[in-house]
Amino acid sequence: MRYLNPPVDKKNATKFDTGNVFDTCVSMVKNPALKAELCGVRQQVEDAAADYDAKAETGSLHLRTPHDHVGTVTAEKLIKVYTLRMVPKRATGRPIYDRIMSAPAHRRCPLCGLGTVNTLDHFLPKTHFPIFSVTPNNLVPACTWCQGKKLEYYSTTAGGQLLHPYFDDVDNEVWLVAEVVVGAPVVFRYSACPPDHWAPSTKARVATHLEKLNLPLLFSLNAGSRLTEIRARLEKPLQKEGGADAVREHLIEELSSMEEDHKNSWSAAMYRAAAASDWFCNGGFLGV
């Protein structure tokens, strides 16, 4: 939902190198045999990361095949490179983990554009794609809602893929829309409505992203809360400044600032829908 620059190494302000990240994590392995085994697949991990980037750039990560080992190294051993050597507070890879976690401005989840980041999610799940367990570009800062909805999801079709924050920038044009559902209380219904000229797979992906993460519900709940907060501010122009036209003018003024930040935020879609609704502007928002 929000594009995020790929994670960079704070020390030299360059993109993380997967091979170096893997080395950093493996360096704390005390078992000589295990360490040698892991070091033996380093090049394969690095090569896979390069292929990952190439496929992600073209929206083709669905072509990656799930696996349960890399060379002689089992999935369990590769996953532990992440869970034991990157996640723990004192792990050698923890500074990398923290750097990626703190990448989004204001710790805002890039998957929904709303929640607060509190974990890293593997875009391609590590249980199915263990070779990417510590690949920085596969580690996406996420909120509890998004990680809980995504879980182990991955797609084998182009249109079934979620949007990847590091590779998919879809905010140049409006595609997230909301509809005012007449009633008391007012409800905002969210859906994807991308431009006609978009590629079919991209159209499908934005719809998939909303569906799989159950974002219409999340956005609708937040829109309801926002309406409660602004109801009194909308009532004043309705009753004292010019009626429905004044309400619409207020909404459009607020919307312009939101769209400067993010055209496809839940709040921008809410305000667009409210401004376009005669019923809402004529006082429908007063219903509780």
CA-to-CA distance for 41 and 178, rounded, in angstroms? 48
Consecutive H or E run containing 181 = strand 176-181
Which of the four pLDDT bands, split at 50, 70 and 90, describes residue 242?
confident
Please state the three-class secondary structure of 101-115 as a single string: HCCCHHHECCCCCCC
pTM of the shown model: 0.94
Rounded to 5°, angle at Cα 87 from 164 and 163:
5
Q: In the block, which residue shows the tokens 């920085």?
A: 136
Q: Give the pLDDT mean for 215-223.
A: 98
Mean model confidence pLDDT for the chain: 95
Q: Is a pLDDT exceeding 70 seen at residue 288?
A: no
Q: Is a pLDDT exceeding 70 seen at residue 140?
A: yes
Domain boundaries, the chain: 8-150, 176-286
Per-residue pLDDT tens over the stretch 167-188: 999 999 999 999 999 998 999 9
Which of the four pLDDT bands, split at 50, 70 and 90, describes residue 241?
confident
pLDDT at 108: 95
Q: Give the pLDDT mean for 194-210.
A: 97
For residue 37, give both structure tokens.
């085994």
Which of the four pLDDT bands, split at 50, 70 and 90, describes residue 227?
very high
Q: Is a pLDDT exceeding 80 seen at residue 217?
A: yes
